[in-house]
A and B are shown apart, each in its own frame.
Chain A
Amino acid sequence: MSEGSQGLLLAGVGGQGVILASMIVADALMRAGHDVKQSEVHGMAQRGGSVFSHIRWGERVDSPLVPLGSAEVLAAFEWAEAVRWVEYVRDGGAVVADVRTIVPPGACNDHRSWLRRYPGIDGELFDSRHLKTRLIDATATAEELGNVRAANSVILGTVAAFIDIDNKHWEAAIAHLVPKGTEEINLAAFRIGRDVAEARVPQTAPDPEGFSGPHQIEINHVWCKGCDICSRVCPEYCLAVDVDGKLTIIDAEACTGCKLCEALCPDFAIEISAPREPAVVGNQAAADGSTL
């Protein structure tokens, strides 16, 4: 690592404004007289993929990449990204994370094991390494301000508490870089982020949107003519027509409720309805408002 330099990592998913936030950080640091190098990766970002950015600053910086276990601060705009990048933070460093979760389509699709795949919130992960942790619901804060897209400014506000530069540099950088007309709301979001207390967080990952268990498949055998369309369009291989031409459910558990079979049944013979009882996902604690 270059002499006397410090590192910051920003991570989120496509569309959250990670790159803009990273430009603001770099701009603010330069305004404060630091040498700054910044690098970003946004490969599959448009499909909700991971976006991250390394920033290093100091008297002289040779490479933008923050080595493992040396970042001063991790700013995570999404929960799984916080878990993914926490290794980069030095012991005793800081983690600022939005507690909102954005479950990628891949994890949703794997409906039988998504709970295992999407990381639950694990306080020990942070406590054991003496990390200064700030968990905030930046998305909700920004929504209250009237523009959910200002969530990145809320996170930046909290991040600013861990970076030793004058506040005027932050505000100048934000006013300079955010889209015209949104300066006020972003500055307001930044100030809230700076003053934010630790937020209440769910104990486990919440239910991914749109999936709460296998759906109910109902077949009207009197109307069904066994044309085989449904079984061949089903992405989850739930249905099959047996040798007698009778439609049968071969994997009821796999139904995700996409309703392709229902929409393409010419005989009105299939009906898909929401699960009878909501699946138990173990986030009752979140509903009760308990904290870590």
Chain B
Amino acid sequence: MTDVKTYLREWAMPHVLCPGCAHGIVLRSFLNAVDQLQIDQDKLAMVAGIGCSSRLVGYVDFCTLHGTHGRAPAFATGLKLARPDLKVVVVTGDGDALAIGGNHLIHAARRNIDITVLLLNNSIYGMTGGQAAPTTPEGALASTTPAGNTEPNFDACKLLMGAGASFVARVLAANPMDMTKVMADGLDHPGFSFIEVISDCPEYFGRYNKVGGGAEMLTWMSVRDEGVAGPLAEKRFVNHIPIESVPSGMETGVLQREIRPVYAGVRKVEDHES
């Protein structure tokens, strides 16, 4: 295995993200997945919009494109059509992809463009000061919802399944090994692959909601996942987190995987199957 640092622009490090922010864990897992698939650094393009998660493209040594807010899937669509030989990956946040750029995301999914979208969901607008996002859970505190969020939140995976994405998965930043595996599957999938990563924002979400810092946030997201809640609760570093205070369970893993014709025939289905 190559050192993941060969995929980093080391001169740009350390990155701008807050202490304990799980976006960095997600980036490392993604680089591990790229390393696993042995993708040429010059043949991989990372496209981002605006937001904390979108800042990640500044630190990776691939072809990178930093576009406008919410329009990363649109940029990526154009890039993929012009340069079908590139592997195109969109890194986006929950506000970027589901609020500002919601339309671009669902139509890229509907067309089954051969790109991979990583949605780093931290349940809040982190970069702009902790405002409530479409993914903020009901009842959660944010700078714009001091008495608790009254709106229901998006389930991004269900939305994308409804829009026709041919690969939909959800992973937790707290499970980096699983994350790498699912990302490798998604990168390898012919057609539109969507991976929602439950990331975190200890600085705003953790602070406002009294969850705690990075370690506690990782635990918190784990106890939201039904499969790992029980075992994790017994671990030392999660002792003080009351289980009943966390939201209901989320389904994780690959939720949908189908092979259907790819937009503009960039990569033929038969090729993949043979």
- Chain A positions within 8 Å of B, measured between CB atoms, are 222-229, 232-233, 263-269
A225 touches B215 (CB 8 A): no
Nearest B residue to A228 via CB reads: B215
Query: In the complex, A222→B237 CA distance in Å?
Result: 26
Query: In the complex, A264→B199 CA distance in Å?
Result: 12
Give the shortest distance, in Å, between B263 (CB) and chain A (any CB): 35
Query: In the complex, A265→B29 CA distance in Å?
Result: 11
Give the shortest distance, in Å, between A229 (CB) and chain B (any CB): 5
B218 touches A268 (CB 8 A): no
B8 touches A266 (CB 8 A): no
Residues of A within 8 A of B236 (CB): 232
A265 touches B215 (CB 8 A): no
* Nearest 7 A/B pairs, CB to CB: A266-B24, A227-B20, A225-B19, A227-B19, A263-B176, A223-B14, A232-B237
A227 touches B8 (CB 8 A): no
Residues of B within 8 A of A229 (CB): 20, 214-215, 218
Nearest B residue to A269 via CB reads: B14
Let me know if B25 is at the binding interface, CB within 8 A: yes
By CB atoms of chain B within 10 A, which of A228, A263, A268 has the most?
A268
A267 touches B215 (CB 8 A): no
B213 touches A228 (CB 8 A): yes
B20 touches A268 (CB 8 A): no
Nearest B residue to A263 via CB reads: B176
Give the shortest distance, in Å, between B174 (CB) and chain A (any CB): 8
A263 touches B28 (CB 8 A): yes
Query: In the complex, A269→B202 CA distance in Å?
Result: 19
Query: In the complex, A223→B8 CA distance in Å?
Result: 13
Residues of B within 8 A of A265 (CB): 24-25, 28
B24 touches A267 (CB 8 A): yes
Give the shortest distance, in Å, between A242 (CB) and chain B (any CB): 15
Residues of B within 8 A of A266 (CB): 17, 20-25, 28, 214
Query: In the complex, A2→B15 CA distance in Å?
Result: 77
Nearest B residue to A234 via CB reads: B237
B4 touches A263 (CB 8 A): no
Residues of B within 8 A of A228 (CB): 20, 213-215
Let me know if B13 is at the binding interface, CB within 8 A: yes
Starting from the known contacts A229-B214, A267-B17, 8 additional A-B residue pairs (CB-CB under 8 Å) come to A227-B20, A232-B215, A233-B237, A266-B17, A266-B23, A267-B15, A267-B24, A268-B13
Give the shortest distance, in Å, between B235 (CB) and chain A (any CB): 9
Nearest A residue to B199 via CB reads: A266
Let me know if B37 is at the binding interface, CB within 8 A: no
Contact of A227 among B15, B28, B213, B237 (CB under 8 A): B213
Q: Which of B215-231 contact A (CB under 8 A)?
A: 215, 218
Query: In the complex, A253→B83 CA distance in Å?
Result: 51
Q: Which of B2-37 contact A (CB under 8 A)?
A: 4-5, 8, 13-15, 17-25, 28-29
Query: In the complex, A227→B14 CA distance in Å?
Result: 13
Query: In the complex, A223→B11 CA distance in Å?
Result: 11
B25 touches A263 (CB 8 A): yes
Give the shortest distance, in Å, between A235 (CB) and chain B (any CB): 9
Given A264-B218, A268-B4, A268-B8, check contact A226 B19 (CB 8 Å).
yes
Give the shortest distance, in Å, between A230 (CB) and chain B (any CB): 9
Identify 7 residue pairs between A and B in the complex whose beta-carbon atoms are under 8 Å apart, listed by A's number.
A223-B13, A227-B214, A232-B236, A263-B28, A267-B15, A268-B8, A268-B24
Residues of B within 8 A of A223 (CB): 13-14
Residues of B within 8 A of A222 (CB): 14
Give the shortest distance, in Å, between B185 (CB) and chain A (any CB): 18
Query: In the complex, A267→B202 CA distance in Å?
Result: 15
Query: In the complex, A263→B174 CA distance in Å?
Result: 9
Residues of A within 8 A of B214 (CB): 227-229, 266
Query: In the complex, A268→B6 CA distance in Å?
Result: 12
Query: In the complex, A199→B137 CA distance in Å?
Result: 65
Query: In the complex, A269→B27 CA distance in Å?
Result: 13
Let me know if B39 is at the binding interface, CB within 8 A: no
Let me know if B159 is at the binding interface, CB within 8 A: no
Query: In the complex, A228→B218 CA distance in Å?
Result: 12
Let me know if B177 is at the binding interface, CB within 8 A: yes
